[in-house]
Every structure is written in C-alpha cells, then in structure tokens.
Amino acid sequence: MEDLKDKTALVTGASTGIGAAVAIAFAARGMRVAVHYNSSADAANQVVETIRAAGGTAFAVQADVRDTGAIRECVKKTQAEFGRIDVLVNNAGSLVKRVPIAEFDDALFDEVMHINARSVLAFCREVVPLMRTQGSGNIINVTSVAARTGGGPAAYLYAGSKGFVSTATHGLAKELVGDRIRVNAVAPGVIQTPFQDRFSTPAMLENFRASIPMGRIGEPEECVGAFLYLASEQLSGYVTGQVIEVNGGQYMP
C-alpha cells in the first residue's frame, strides 16, 4: 500500500470505534488524517496523539454533521491544513434511539436522516469540487448490515437511513466515475464500539451474536482492511459502486 503514503484523508466520526481505527490505520500507512468529531473532543485528541506518537500526521476538526454550514467549515479547515483531500470516509452516524413505530415522530426522523444520510451528501457536495480540481478522489461511505436486514429492535429508522447510504453510493459512483472519483461503501455488522454500548442491551448483543456464523461480535480493527483496500488505487483501482460487507457471515448477499 505504498500508494497511500502522503495522501490525505478526512475521516468523519473518527474519535471512537471504527472511525478511530480507520484513522489510525491510514496514518500508519503514511497518510495525513483529519480526525473529525462532534462532541468527543478528548477522544478525538487522543486519536491524534496516538497517530503523532507513532510518527504520523493528524489534526482534530469539530463539526456537528446535522449542520451543513459546520460541514462546509470542516472541509475548508481540512483543505487549509493539508492542501487537498484524497480520501473522504463518511463514517459519522448514530441510531439516536430505538423507538417503536407507534412512538415515532417527525423530529426523530429528521435527526436520524440528517446525521446518517444528509450528512453523507453534504460532505460529498463540499469535497467533490476539490477532488475534481485535483483530477482524482476516493469516497468511502459507511453503511450497515442493518441496510440489508432492517436492523435490530425498533431500529427501522437507522436501517432506512443506512439503506439510503447504500443506494446513494451506487448513484454517486455512476455520476463521478468520469471525474476519476471512485465511490464505494463498507457495511459493518455488529461491532463492539461505543455505539453498541449506548444503544444495545447485553441481551440484544447476545441475540446478535447468536445470529453470526462466526459466533462472535467483531472488533473495530477487523473492519480496517476493507477501508485500506478501497483507499488504495493499487488494490482497488477498478472497483467503484460496491458495498463490502464485514459482518462475520451474519448476512451473505
């Protein structure tokens, strides 16, 4: 993966979990990384320090992904810091809360869709002109096994928002291929992250584990290979519009 060296990446939602693991792995291959966060400043700064301690280059950048103006500023700060953006990883997302359909309201719909779906398009809207000017680029969206299965208990909104991300990935890949911008997605299954700590009970996690042929819940680092593969032109230069499933066999398309 020598082709990753000296490239730049903006990884959203990179303060913890899969985003943090991806940011650290990118930096370990010589990439310069913008570590995006919303409210977890301490965790984001710890990721940056981990990268710098290993000899890498990174900085933390804050933005609430529900705010398109904040997204615009996040991209501007990344460009100002690094001069370019070669890889955008749209990882920021949240289930927000599990709500039975009888208790669903418009405000929850808006929040879930803004965080998980609209933010992806908003980041792409800001980054694509830069990539066009550069003559190439790479966008890696993060969807979920929930987009295939409908999600766990009372998580239909989250699942639907991730279904949007998967479908939009195909459409964006077609639109941007002529600009030498590849667009793909990674669909993690059940991964042990703060996301699960917040939204899943031990009983839910046990039920999830029982549905996974590999018999265990995944770790963030086990998702990293898919991102490295998609970020590398040497390894995946002929790959676009694809969704790579990383789920221990929980769903096999």
pTM over 0.85: yes
Which pLDDT score is estimated for 253? 85
- Residue 227 sits in which domain range? 2-246
- Structurally, the chain folds into a number of domains equal to 1
| 251 domain-assigned | no
Average pLDDT estimate for 12-27: 98
User: Is residue 252 included in any domain, yes or no?
Assistant: no
Tokens of 161: 């928002």
Show the CA angle centred on residue 52, arms to residues 46 and 48, nearest 5°: 30
Residue 144, pLDDT score: 98
Classify residue 253: in a domain, yes or no. no
Distance from chain centroid for Cα 105: 26
Residue 248 clears pLDDT 90, i.e. is over it: yes
In a domain, 84, yes or no: yes
**What is the pLDDT confidence band of residue 194, given thresholds at 50, 70 and 90?**
confident
- What are the tens digits of pLDDT across the range 127-161? 999 999 999 999 999 999 999 999 999 999 999 99
Q: Which residues are catalytic?
A: 158
Residue 162 domain-assigned?
yes
CB distance 165 to 116 below 8 Å: yes
* Residue at 12 is within a domain: yes
Strands 137-142 and 181-188: parallel
CB 60, CB 23: distance < 8 Å: no
Radius of gyration of the chain (CA): 17
Residue 197's pLDDT is 85
- Contact, 161 vs 113, CB < 8 A? yes
Residue 229 in any domain: the answer is yes
Residue 117 pLDDT class (50, 70, 90 cuts): very high
Per-residue model confidence (pLDDT) at position 168 = 98
Cα–Cα distance measured from residue 75 to residue 88, given in angstroms and rounded to the nearest whole number: 10
CATH number at residue 130: 3.40.50.720
